[in-house]
Amino acid sequence: MDGWRRLVEDDPSTFPQTDDYILLHFENFSGVIVGRCEGNEEEGFLFYLGDEIEPCVNELLFVNGWMPIPKFEVEE
């Protein structure tokens, strides 16, 4: 998973510490989807697709990695 940050369930430091949209990688789905992570170390973290209100796990999508959305510069 080059460039991806692998999630470790027992290590909260591997989860995103941002409210920004991120790219989500799944253990049981081959696509990459823009989503977000909400939560904290005490209560746990949940991932959501885009602006959805149901967490990924409710859709049987299991996130195993994430990365910031790459920033691209447009040349004029």
Strand ranges of the sheet holding 44-49, from the earlier edge strand across to the other edge = 5-6, 63-68, 22-26, 33-40, 44-49
Q: How confident is the model over 19-70, as pLDDT tens digits?
A: 899 999 999 999 999 999 999 888 899 999 999 999 999 999 999 999 999 8
Q: Would you kindly state where each structural domain of the chain is located, as residue ranges?
A: 1-34+51-69
Contact 56, 49 (CB under 8 A): yes
pTM metric for this prediction: 0.87
